[in-house]
Amino acid sequence: MPIANSHLFPLSLLLAADVLLIDRISKWLILTHVARHEAIRIAPFFNITLVLNSGISFGMFADHYAPLVWASLSAVIVGILLVWLYRSRLRLVAVGLGLVIGGALGNVVDRLRFSAVVDFLDFHLGAWHWPAFNVADSAICVGVAVLCVSGMLESSQRPTESSRP
C-alpha cells in the first residue's frame, strides 16, 4: 500500500473542512433569513430560494427512500474517497477529492439534521429553472471536473504502445 504524500493529504482535508464550513455557514444564513420557497431576486437569471430536497441529485427519488439511507451511502463513498486521497500522489487529484469530500459531508450533515438537503441557488432562464443547488453541490461538481481533467492530463502523459521501446 503506497504511503500518503505527507503534505497533500492534510492539505486536502483542510480544503474539505473549508468547503464544509462555507457550506454550513451559507445554509445557516439561508435557513435563518429566507422563508421556504421565497424567491429573492438577485439578478434577472438568479434567485435565492430556500428548498428542502429530500431526494438525491436534482430531487430524484424524493420520498422513496429514507434520508438515513442516502446519508449512509454518502458516508461510505466519503470513506472510499478518503482511501483514494490517502494513496494519491497527484496535486490535482488531491484538490478534486478535497472538494468532493467537503461537499459530500455538507450534504450528509443536512440529511442527518433535516432529513433533506438545504438548496438555495436558483438559476433560471425566463420561466425555466435549473434545480436549486447549494455550495456543497457546487464543490462536488467542481471537484469531479478537476478529477476528470487530472485523469485526462495523466493519460495524455503516459507513453502509448507505439512509443514504447
Residues involved in catalysis = 119, 137
Other beta carbons within 10 Å of 141 = 14
Question: Reading across the β-sheet that carries 46-53, which strands appear in turn?
Answer: 39-43, 46-53, 117-125, 128-129
| Closest by CA position to 28, among listed 113, 142, 141 | 113
Residue 1 CB partners (closer than 8 Å, separation 6+): 87
| Closest by CA position to 105, among listed 134, 66, 65 | 134
* Residue-wise burial string across 116-126, b where 16 or more C-beta atoms lie within 10 A, e elsewhere: bbbbbbbeeee
Burial (CB count <10 Å: 0-12, 13-18, 19+), residue 85: buried
